[in-house]
Structure 1
């Protein structure tokens, strides 16, 4: 089987975990009702809140998190793959993980992934973020075998680090993912081009569910959940920041076709970086 119907859920997660879980469940059911057998939610499905103390007060460890439990239950009930883009998880060492979960059609946990790259930035108009002050970065890339193909897992800011996606593609990933809570400021500038670039560079589909709109904690996220094909074409998009479901039929045979036309994964060569200025100065 090379064809599959995939869905990206666009959410506007707030500070109530219970309400977010209810919204997540409703959107998963809508996606499954539209025939999707792979459903992905955005980064921080469970809660979006700036207040670190408030966030820590609602954290649960893996196995007890309500989003994680709902995802496994829905996957088994609906017979689909459910990919929680990420949610905040209490680690045993007292730190916090920005963790993605992937459940198979039997409800079993197939894989997890902890976001590697922390969004520590100072943007225009005083907007500043320090994810490393709250979250412990992951240290390993993750690829997972699904009934229809191999999938690479990433989260949000990871999309700016092409080496992560290249490593997954070289490990056989045909579908790459970057579920996100992109800020409106960075999203309007870079969201589309980054998603399309990762698809083109790796000859892979990219599926990225997004948070969108004005959230309870005051942040604004860009929305525009996307599904991109291996040639870099947007095949489905939520052209707005409202909650909803984006669905597309994709054929993984297009991955081999794209990689056959432009075999850059095979043609890549190791190289050194020569510092010509230093050499010229030394010789002068």
Structure 2
């Protein structure tokens, strides 16, 4: 059975202040609602993007106490729209955080939670250094969820470089996989489009990747170019963006689950996986 879904993809530029980010999100989300969105999706670090350890710990809380999440649930219920918070930064201990994607249905109920499995620890040639594992707890569970007839898979940013996660989701039968992200500019320019198209093609599914974009308060720049790729690898949406012109806003796209079934029957590679001896 074909399921048509109108999706509002939010390209965002998160600050270090959750209250400001919530206000900006509601502005974009309302625009999506006004354009008939069934589902609105946001990038990684929607509630806060900050690399200062003490400041981010002081500006975040546990999920059950999070005002940002509660406000988003109320928005969904009031406007009868579903929302993927690409990720919220929430506490799991007083000095440890989770990078958590949360899927909320039209009644404001949480129907999916996913903690980022693969943490980004690297020293880049341009001098930037990232140590997500120093502050964040890694997830350990593949997560899919059902929403209004669609079977959805949840991943976050750096997960994109680990194809086995996407194959595990495809093996569960998901039609759409989310990749909310805050990609760096150098890696975005080099790999973002190629990796997203590859994940769509090899799994015969839609890939929806809402992204952070532009120069942030912390001095970090993110790549933008929120993408939607169909199961044949065609790019249905590229929101663009540069450091100087972040192209924030909500971008509308239609997803038809029939195309997933059509492509998977045309190229049934999911049925041909074999175990290899090494």
Distance, in Å, in 2 between the alignment partners of 1:82 and 1:35 is 13
In the alignment, is the contact (CA less than 8 A) between 1:43 and 1:85 conserved in 2?
yes
Distance, in Å, in 1 between the alignment partners of 2:46 and 2:265 is 37
Q: How does 1:43-192 map to 2 (within 5 A)?
A: 43-92=44-93, 94-192=95-193
Shifted more, 29-38 versus 93-102: the winner is: 93-102
Distance, in Å, in 2 between the alignment partners of 1:128 and 1:94 is 20
Give 1:66 shift.
Answer: 2.6
Moved over 3 A (4+): none
**Pair 1:249-2:254 in alignment:** yes
Q: What TM-score, normalized by structure 1, do the two folds share?
A: 0.94
* Map of 2:14 onto structure 1: 13
**Pair 1:272-2:273 in alignment:** no
* Map of 2:208 onto structure 1: 207
Distance, in Å, in 2 between the alignment partners of 1:162 and 1:93 is 33
Give 1:148 shift.
Answer: 2.9
Q: How does 1:230-241 map to 2 (within 5 A)?
A: 230-240=231-241, 241=246
- CA RMSD of superposed structures (Å): 1.1
In the alignment, is the contact (CA less than 8 A) between 1:30 and 1:245 conserved in 2?
yes
Give 1:242 shift.
Answer: 2.2
Shifted more, 60-69 versus 154-163: the winner is: 60-69
Listed one character per residue, the Cα deviations across residues 208-266 of structure 1 (whole Å, up to 9, x for unaligned) are 10000000001000000011100011001202232111211111100011101111100
In the alignment, is the contact (CA less than 8 A) between 1:4 and 1:148 conserved in 2?
no
In the alignment, is the contact (CA less than 8 A) between 2:228 and 2:237 conserved in 1?
yes
Listed one character per residue, the Cα deviations across residues 12-68 of structure 1 (whole Å, up to 9, x for unaligned) are 001111000111111111111111101111000011111100000011111221321
Distance, in Å, in 1 between the alignment partners of 2:69 and 2:126 is 36
Give 1:93 shift.
Answer: 6.7
Q: What TM-score, normalized by structure 2, do the two folds share?
A: 0.96
Q: SS of the counterpart of 2:63?
A: coil
* Map of 2:42 onto structure 1: 41
Distance, in Å, in 2 between the alignment partners of 1:91 and 1:127 is 26
Give 1:172 shift.
Answer: 1.2
In the alignment, is the contact (CA less than 8 A) between 1:114 and 1:138 conserved in 2?
yes
In the alignment, is the contact (CA less than 8 A) between 1:12 and 1:242 conserved in 2?
no
Give 1:177 shift.
Answer: 0.8
What is the number of residues matched between the two proteins? 273
* Map of 1:277 onto structure 2: none
Q: Unpaired segments of 5 or more residues in structure 1?
A: 274-284
Q: SS of the counterpart of 1:89?
A: strand
